[in-house]
Structure 1
């Protein structure tokens, strides 16, 4: 695919400059300048595999924006091969920006979709994400839509004992899930690398958006560490206090992203996954 030509076609504006920014998974990243003076961020996915990834990401950004338009960048254009967003120069996270993010995230989570899942086929990185809209309790949905689908691909890395440990979590999911909560509008892949800190606030990028349990987004923030996390959580609690025991349930909510990492990257994440599973069962 000729990225400049396709980008010109998609935006309706000639591209005067296109700078490569590297790549991530199966796509490449670019900074573009247009003839009408705009600077754009472009994610390009030119090959014929996983053609739903960028359309799913665009759908997720728009779905999140419907509840909180200031929390995500607007989608300028998107198709199966390109996703175009405004260019946002990064800044150092400040305490004020972290508190604003915490309150905004709480507000997002208090918007309750009718179902778990989403109205489009999902992806997390290059892996399909089962977004089949589902009613009922969160616990079986999490077990059957977010954990069980990845166990077969992870089984060789986990070994028999490791796989059985995850199966014990599935068997006890109702006991481990905590108090019932309605579906919340989630980012779905909220590690620190998917927070873009701007001059006054933070934007959430690269979502795997869906209706899920709000503790999942917070557990993902904690998984690899986020700047100013204590301030984010304190501001969140001001708007939407969490149920008791939420800290003990963090490992349960981290099992899905860790399973995804094992499938994508192999044994380097095996120890983290099994430790989280053991902690979830102990809680």
Structure 2
């Protein structure tokens, strides 16, 4: 299989970072669609709030949405340099960007994110619940109650908090997109906490879609397989990160840019007849 320089095939150099990781320290640097994604106005005039938009999938979605015509609220934890770089790409696309740091485990912060979106742009059309937390463990006895709680509060409480705050402010035709995972259906034992939350995200997606259908709001999810983001070298042993994604039919990890089209589909009129759905983007791994 020929190697694309933007989509390199493992093995990668062995590497490790402290969580949550920095894009600039990764080898290779992920492709977020900076050079490849071309938009044509599918989201013209829309406003999107994207969590975890400083890097990885969230950054790729922010770039794609901006090139489709949307203004972007970039929610992130503390990675200021990465967030400013996302904002730069949004602004180069001719759209407005605001960056908001803070911990989405806090319901108050989630309410503030939605309110600041309304204050800045007067509307919220798209909510992308993308930010996530994970760690790897070989034994359940090594997972503390505090870490279990942090994983659930980041990965499923936050989407609940944000959706609860956003739905009353959304008009008919708006969209909520959650990032679940192949782990929701094929859990890896070393990712017990993370996989459990992603199963909950998929269920939350289906239930919320039914709950808000009468409002004209669509709720869907994207289920990535192995995607090369800062989460990987900052949470996996270096020897596993080096081989990350080799098990897929395509033989490599996906790049964040390769998921952007699925989010655009679900956010735009192209997906107007889709709600309660989960789109797998897994490199050929089957969602059982």
Give me the TM-score of the superposition, normalised by structure 2: 0.25
Which of 1 and 2 has greater Rg?
Answer: 1
Give me the TM-score of the superposition, normalised by structure 1: 0.26
